[in-house]
Amino acid sequence: MPASTRHHRALAVFVHCLGILAAVPALPAAAPEAAAAPRPAVVTPPPAAPRPAVVTPPPAAPPPAGTPRPAAPPPMTGPTVGPAVPVAARATSAEPTPPSAPPAVATPTRAVVPAPPPPVTVAVAPESSPAPRYRIHVRNVGNSPVDTTVRQELPSGSSATAISAGGRSSRSGGSTAEVTWRLRLPAHSSTTLGTALTATAPGQPLTAPACAFTSDGSRPYDCATATWQAAAAAPAAEATEAPPWRRYPVLLAGLGILLLISAAVAWVWRRRRGRRGRRITAAALADGGHGTIYPRPATPSPSRRRRTPPVWLLVGAAVVVLAGVIGTAGWTATRQVSSIDTQKQPTSGAWRGTGVAGPMGVPLRESAFEFTVYRMTCGAAGSAATAPGASAPPPGARSCQATVGVRNLTGSQQPWHGQLQRAYLPGNRWVSTDESATRAANLGRDVFANPVAAGSRVVLPLVFTVDGRDPPRQLELRSGVFSAGVRVQMP
């Protein structure tokens, strides 16, 4: 037998064996299943007239002794095959019978449910007054009394001149002063607090954020901010530039044009005067010195060479034009260089959007988020605690906690990462968020594990472990590695 034929036959036998092995276990499995539990209507066939192929024949008589095998086929009398009716029913109902349901497995989902509203809300509003004044509205929206600590950060260089009842001024862990109230708010109640500050400079706007914390002052409920504007201060948009006649490029260009016009007039006047003198001399010579006949048509005009401008005029005009061009270019370059912010440091991977910088308490928007830093406090040297499962901080390290508000301005959920949030120290050194300490400050919740829901706002503490005695000078916050992010200047 050829090898190819043997291979084909062996393959055919193998395929038939697989078909038999797959079909035989399915036949006895349907009968116990149908008998054990009721199936839907599509499994059990409705009663109908018996078909000849499915009628159970009477049991055959036992074979006589000495007969090697019975005449009847084993499938009709074997105890494991069962009667023929369930087999036909299975054959009839095999096609509409649905497969058994898979085990219940939770389908993973990325949908983020917005965080529930805090039990205490805060709103800050400035007053229209000659001196900076603020109203702080604190409201308990819950169904039970709440003990809360309200803190208002004062701008750098200012102090409180008037505080509503119950408040006191103190120095926080950073370099700025703050006003603190300890309140107990009944259910569904609100209260209004007030402060008056000293102005650091006449007409300068002042921003003073306020936050409501838990009774121990560790976790923020809600924060708000407001900027006081002096009534007499003119908006920045109304500032106008100097008139054109007071700008250096215009003055230089006008001086150069004036010099060129004066030189041209002088040259034309000298040329015409010389031509007139030559004509008078020629007429006197033609008359023999007895009279003046001017002009004489019969006298041919003497041939004269075309005169060119003097060298001093050309050199002077070139010097004036060159001085005007150099002066204009230098003035333009000086203005462009002076408009560059030398304190702004380049961002890493800033491929989308434009980096924004601002002070603490001012909302700053980047590509996806709006960040607002309300407060920054730093502990004493050696105050950095070791979170469970984290490496020990260096000796003398301390924890700086920033209260940050994050608002998702896009229409979809946005993830963010702790390694992209940085605190810059003196010497252009920076540290990322201490994720283990941040998780401990948020009662064990990983704030970077889930993305921020679309249109939602969260207020949470971020912890940075720093070394040295100086607090962070700047915070860099961003939603993604390709976002320019924002930079918040610390007071």
Is residue 223 within 8 Å of 210, Cβ to Cβ?
yes
pLDDT for res 306: 60
- How many whole angstroms separate alpha carbon 343 and alpha carbon 273? 65
pLDDT for res 111: 61
Q: For the segment 441-466, what is each residue's pLDDT rounded down to a tens digit?
A: 998 999 999 899 999 999 999 999 99
In a domain, residue 346? The reply is no
In a domain, residue 27? The reply is yes
In a domain, residue 445? The reply is yes
pLDDT for res 315: 75
**Which tokens hold the place of 33?**
């299943």
The answer to whether the peptide bond before residue 79 is cis (omega within 30 degrees of 0) is no
Enumerate long-range contacts of 314-318, CB under 8 Å, 24 or more apart. 316/259, 316/263, 317/259, 317/260, 317/263
- How many whole angstroms separate alpha carbon 353 and alpha carbon 410? 14
In a domain, residue 250? The reply is yes
User: Which of 364, 346, 353 has its CA nearest to residue 484?
Assistant: 353
How many domains are there within the chain? 4
In a domain, residue 364? The reply is yes
Residues 364 and 477 in one domain: yes
In a domain, residue 274? The reply is no
In a domain, residue 426? The reply is yes
The domain that holds 129 is classified in CATH as: 2.60.40.290
In a domain, residue 409? The reply is yes
- How many whole angstroms separate alpha carbon 485 and alpha carbon 350? 8
Residues 43 and 153 in one domain: no
Residues 179 and 155 in one domain: yes
- In sequence order, what are the residues at sequence separation of 6 or more whose Cβ sits closer than 8 angstroms to the Cβ of residue 125? 134, 135, 137, 226
Phi, then psi, of 118 in degrees rounded to 5: -70, 155
- In sequence order, what are the residues at sequence separation of 6 or more whose Cβ sits closer than 8 angstroms to the Cβ of residue 333? none
- How many whole angstroms separate alpha carbon 462 and alpha carbon 467? 16
Q: Quick one: 152 exposed, middle or buried, by C-beta within 10 A (0-12, 13-18, 19+)?
A: buried
Residues 362 and 485 in one domain: yes
pLDDT for res 67: 45
Is residue 138 within 8 Å of 150, Cβ to Cβ?
yes
Residues 363 and 458 in one domain: yes
Q: CA triplet 471, 475, 481: central angle to 5 degrees?
A: 145
User: Which of 194, 12, 26 has its CA nearest to residue 99?
Assistant: 26
Residues 378 and 470 in one domain: yes
Residues 164 and 200 in one domain: yes
Residues 249 and 225 in one domain: no
Indicate the residue among 206, 231, 256 that finishes a domain: 231
Residues 369 and 476 in one domain: yes
User: Which of 175, 178, 213 has its CA nearest to residue 195?
Assistant: 178
> H helices within 287-428, ranges in order?
311-338
- How many whole angstroms separate alpha carbon 228 and alpha carbon 125? 8
Residues 197 and 316 in one domain: no
Is residue 382 within 8 Å of 397, Cβ to Cβ?
yes
pLDDT for res 243: 65
Q: DSSP states of 189-234 as a string?
A: -EEEEEEEE--SSTT--EE--EEEE-TTSSSEEEEE--EE--TTPP
Indicate the residue among 187, 208, 231 that finishes a domain: 231
pLDDT for res 467: 86
**Which tokens hold the place of 88?**
């036909």
The domain that holds 384 is classified in CATH as: 2.60.40.1240
- In sequence order, what are the residues at sequence separation of 6 or more whose Cβ sits closer than 8 angstroms to the Cβ of residue 295? 279, 283
pLDDT for res 130: 87
Please report where in the chains the tokens 């041209």 appear, as a residue. Answer: 264
User: Which of 304, 284, 485 has its CA nearest to residue 404?
Assistant: 485
pLDDT < 70 regions, the chain: 1-7, 23-115, 172-176, 231-248, 281-309, 335-351, 353, 383, 385-393
Give residue 139's Cα distance to chain centre.
Answer: 30
Which range marks the domain in which residue 225 is found? Answer: 120-231
- In sequence order, what are the residues at sequence separation of 6 or more whose Cβ sits closer than 8 angstroms to the Cβ of residue 413? 110, 111, 112, 451, 452, 453, 454
Task: Tell me the whole-structure pTM to 2 decimals.
Answer: 0.55
User: Which of 163, 143, 141 has its CA nearest to residue 151?
Assistant: 163
- How many whole angstroms separate alpha carbon 301 and alpha carbon 313? 29
Q: CA triplet 48, 54, 60: central angle to 5 degrees?
A: 135
Residues 370 and 467 in one domain: yes
Residues 389 and 470 in one domain: yes
Q: On the CB side of 348, how many CA atoms lie within 13 Å of its CA?
A: 9
